Amino acid sequence: MDQLSTEELASKLHSNLLPKHVAIIMDGNGRWAESRHLPRIAGHREGIKSVREIVQACSDLGIQALTIYAFSQENWNRPSHEVSALMDLLEYFLAEERTNLIEQGVRFRTIGRLEDLPPSAIQWVRDTEQATAHLDKLHLTVALSYGGRTEIVDAVRKILRDAQERKLQPDEVDEALVQQHLYTQGLPDPDLLIRTSGETRISNFLLWQLAYTELYFTPTLWPDFRHREFFLALLEYQRRERRFGRVLSGTISS
């Protein structure tokens, strides 16, 4: 595969074997910048180009949903100047990309505790969600001020409120009910999770939704993750046999 061009890799993709929903932990922006003796924010700016390319690739390939981990709840612990720069970068991205998203038929939505964001960032997010709400070629979900455990806690709180209001019985609580109260309600679970930069953990991302997701880890830093690297991940996904806990005919369960 290393010798093949991006175009040759693309030709090996089979539309019927592509994931419907791809989730990405975009890691390595800071290391990319530091390796070039640049400020960390320069890596985040370069990472926007990768977001743009992967959104375009998903749209072109007919992938239905893309969810990206942009800012975790733990990221609030970073230096205040970096957090401020990231919020400014979020607003810049939405200002620059809103028209492109609409032209590509991309519906933009966010998950997480959005109330933690600065008011101006919240306004940009809400305006972009509203402007793209009618689109459905690709569902782009951006996790902001997000934590997987927090999502589950918030879901439990909603269920308890429902229980108080309509006398929900314990036996009525099942997986479907929990899913209805998650931030990602209405989206299918990811088929493929990609994490860049060489780290091999999921870092509190989509803890419920990743139960049967295929995991793909690459040493490539996020700003260098473009069409070619994405196609390699998709080709690896196509080679995997997804059993969802079942034993397929002719196989022995491990």
Q: Which active-site residues does the annotation give? A: 27, 75
* Dihedral sign for Cα atoms in the order 141, 125, 70, 229: positive
The packing angle between helices 227-239 and 40-61, to 10°, is: 60
State phi, psi for 121 to the nearest 5 degrees.
Answer: -65, -40
Residue with token string 């539309």: 15
* Pairing mode of beta strands 106-111, 192-195: unpaired
Position 114: which residue type? L
Residue with token string 């519906």: 107
Contact assessment for residue 229 and residue 218, using Cβ atoms and an 8 Å cutoff: yes
203, two tokens = 């870092």
CA 188 – CA 17 distance, rounded (Å): 16
Sheet with strand 21-25: strands edge to edge: 106-111, 138-146, 65-72, 21-25, 192-195, 214-217
Integer angstrom CA distances of residue 124 from 9, 115, 128: 37, 13, 6
